[in-house]
Chains A and B, each alone.
Chain A
Amino acid sequence: MKIAAVVRQVPDLIEPVEIAGSEKTVDLDGATFRVNEADDLALEQAILLKEKLGGSAVTVVALDFGDIDNTLYAAAAKGADRIIKIPYDQQQPPAPKHAAAIYAEAIRGLEADLVLVGSYAHDELESTLAPLLAGKLDLPFVGVVRGVRPSADGSSATVFKEFPGAAVAKMNVKLPALLGILSADEPLRYVPVSRIRAAMKTAKIEEQEAPVPAPASAATIERLHHPAAGAGAEILKGSVEEVAAKIVSIFREKGVCK
C-alpha cells in the first residue's frame, strides 16, 4: 500500500503571538515553528499502517516553511521511505485553499492509496486543509478519524470517525481516499536523537516544485487584534506575582477563600 502523509509547520506557541503592524497577519519574523500536532499523528498512523501491513511505503510531503528540514529528517527516522519538500518562499504560510492546491500538485503523481492529513492546524482560519485537499485530488474524504483498518486486499478501509457526544462511526471507505486524522492507533513514538542525526546524514530530502498561484481567499481579514476588555471584564496587568496577588485579593473579597 502506498501511503502519503502531509506534515505542516505551525508557529510554536511557546513564544507570544505578535500581530504585524498591518493588523492583518501574525508577525512571523521572530516566530519559531514546530510540526503541526495533528499532522504528526497522521504521520504516526501512516508509519503504524506500514509496519502492520508490510510491503507498504510512506511518503511524507511538506512545504518548505519554518523548520521543515528537521521535521522531515525526524519523519525519516521514524520510518518514512521518502521525504519530499515543496519549495515555497513566502513569509506567510498559504491559506488552506492555496495550500490544498499546492499539496495536490505534489501528491497527485504519488498514486497513493491513502493520503493522511491532520484534522486541524492551529493557524488555519477559513477552513481546514484535509477536505479541501480531498476535493482537489477528487478523493473520498472522512475527517476527524481516530483509527484506520485497511482491508486485506487494500481496496477499502474501515475508519473510525468521532462525533459529538462520544459517538464513533465505523465507516467503510473505498480506496484511494484521504483521511483527516485526529489521533493515531498508538501514541506518538519517541525516536532517539541519534536516529534523527543519522537520518540527517543518510536520508535525502527530495525537492518537488508545485507552482500554484494563490487563489482568491474565501475570507478577508479586516483586523487582527488581541482580545479586548469588554463591559464586566477586568484585565489584570503586571507581573505574574502581582497578578496572582490580585486574584487572591479578589477571591477573598468575593468570599471564595479566606
Chain B
Amino acid sequence: MIANHAKVKPELEFLTQLDVGPDRKTVLNCMQCGACSGSCPLGDVMEYPPRQMILNARSGCLDDVLKSPSLWMCIGCYTCSHRCPRAIELTDGLWPAMRDKAMQNGVQPPKELQDAFQNVFKYGNSLGESPRKRMAWAEKLDVSVRDLSKEPAGVEVLWLVCDYPAYYPRNRVVTRAFARILTALGIRWGVLGNKERTIGDCDRLFGEEGLFESLVEYNRGLLDECQFEKIVLLDPHSYRSLEKFYPRFGAKYPVEHYTTFLAGRMDQLKQLLTKPVEATVTYHDNCCAGRRYDCFDPPRTLLQTIPGVKLVEMDHNRQDALCCGGGGGGMWLDGHIAAHGGQRLSDRRIQEAADVQADVLAVSCPFELSRFEDSAKVAGLEGRIKVRDIVELLAESMDLGERETT
C-alpha cells in the first residue's frame, strides 16, 4: 500500500487529489487485490479491467487509460465499489473523474453518450424530447395532478417524475399507476410539470461534471421555490444524486426512493391490496438502491404483501445481483459495449429469471422495463415472462392498473 505520498510524480497528482472514498482515501491506497476486476460484469472484455486501470494510471500511464475504450464500458453497477476492501469509491469517484479528465483532454465519448449529453444540455432530458411534452404522460389520467410550477402549494410529497417515466411510452403506464397509488393513499402530492429537468446522475457518473453542475443549479432554483415535506422518485439513480451529490452544492432535501416510501406505509397499503395477482415473481435488485443503500427488503416486502404473489430468488440476488446494464449511462452504451465484445447484461439477467420459472420479473428502476422487455424478445421469452415494475403489480392488486393483468 502506498499510504503516504508526500512526494508524488506529477502524473500521479491527479490521482492523489481525487475524493474517492471515506476520509478522502485516494486511489493510491489500492492494494491491487483484483476484487474489482473479478467482480466487474464486463471486466472480461475490457482492455483495462478496473484493477489494471488503476495500476496503469498510477504507474504513469494515465494517458493510455484515458484513451482506452474501457473507460466508457463501466455501466455503474457499483459492484467494484461495494466489494473493494479499501472502500475506494470507484464507481462514483474514480471513473467519473477519469472520464472528466479524458474529455478535458479532448477524448471523445461514444457517440450515443454524446447525444444523450447534448439532449440533456439542450432539452433537459436525455431522450431528446420536447420539454413541453414532459407532462404528456398525465393527459388521460383519471386522477388530478398538481403542477407546482403553476399552482404553488405546500405538499407532502414532491414527486420528481424523471425522464423515462415522463417520456418513454412503456414507462408512462407505471407513472400513471404511481399517480393513482399516491392518490389512493390520500397523499397530498405534486410535480414540477414541464419545468422539470433531469437530475443528472448519469451525466455525473460519466464525467460530465459541468453539465451536472448546470443541472444542480437549475434544479436547486426550482426546488427551493417549492414547499414539500419530501421528494419521492421512481428512479433510484436520481435518488442517489439528490441524496449524495446535490448536498455538495448546498442543495439538501429529504428524499426517498418509492420502494422505501411505500414500504413505510405498509399498514395502509395492505388494506388496499385486495385483488390477487397470481404469479411467480422474481425481483431484480437495481444496483443503486441495492448495493449503495442496502435496499433489499422493502421491495420484497411490497411484493410479498400482494395477495397471490409467490416470490422466488434468482441465482444472483441482493448485493450480488447482476446489473441490467442500463444504469449509470449504460442506456447509451450498448453499441460501444457490443463493439468491444461485451454482451447486453439484461440478456443474461432475463435468462436467470426464466431459470427460476418466474412468470414475472419485477423491477424498480425506470431503465429496466425497456431493457428487460427487449431482452425477453431476444431470448425468445416474450409471452413466457413479463417484466413489470413493482408499482404496476401493486396497482393491479389495488385495482388501479391500466387493465393489463398478469
Known pairs A14-B130, A193-B211, A197-B214; list 15 more (Cβ under 8 Å). Answer: A14-B129, A15-B132, A34-B122, A187-B111, A190-B114, A190-B117, A192-B100, A192-B209, A193-B121, A193-B210, A194-B210, A194-B211, A196-B210, A197-B210, A240-B169
Contact with A along B95-131 (1 / 0, CB 8 A): 0000010011010110100100110011100001110
Q: Measuring CB to CB, which residues of chain B are less than 8 angstroms from any residue of chain A?
A: 100, 103-104, 106, 108-109, 111, 114, 117-118, 121-123, 128-130, 132, 169, 208-211, 213-214
* Contact A190 B108, beta carbon cutoff 8 Å: yes
Q: How close is A54's CB to chain B, nearest CB, in angstroms? A: 16
- 26 residue pairs from A and B, CB less than 8 Å apart: A14-B123, A14-B129, A14-B130, A15-B132, A34-B122, A190-B103, A190-B109, A190-B114, A190-B117, A190-B118, A192-B100, A192-B209, A192-B210, A193-B117, A193-B210, A193-B211, A193-B213, A193-B214, A194-B100, A194-B104, A194-B213, A195-B104, A195-B210, A197-B210, A197-B214, A240-B169
* Contact A14 B104, beta carbon cutoff 8 Å: no
A195 to chain B: closest residue by CB: B210
Residues of the A chain whose Cβ atoms lie less than 8 Å from the Cβ of B104: 192, 194-195
Contact with B along A11-30 (1 / 0, CB 8 A): 00011000000000000000
Residues of the A chain whose Cβ atoms lie less than 8 Å from the Cβ of B109: 190
Residues of the B chain whose Cβ atoms lie less than 8 Å from the Cβ of A194: 100, 104, 209-211, 213
Q: How close is A68's CB to chain B, nearest CB, in angstroms? A: 14
Cα distance, A256 to B114, chains bound together (Å): 38
Q: How close is B182's CB to chain A, nearest CB, in angstroms? A: 25
Residues of the B chain whose Cβ atoms lie less than 8 Å from the Cβ of A223: none
Q: Measuring CB to CB, which residues of chain A are less than 8 angstroms from any residue of chain B?
A: 14-15, 34, 187, 189-190, 192-197, 240
* Contact B130 A15, beta carbon cutoff 8 Å: yes
Q: Which 8 A-B pairs have the closest CB atoms?
A: A194-B210, A193-B210, A193-B211, A190-B114, A192-B103, A14-B130, A197-B210, A192-B210
Residues of the B chain whose Cβ atoms lie less than 8 Å from the Cβ of A15: 130, 132
Cα distance, A15 to B211, chains bound together (Å): 23
Residues of the B chain whose Cβ atoms lie less than 8 Å from the Cβ of A193: 117, 121, 208, 210-211, 213-214
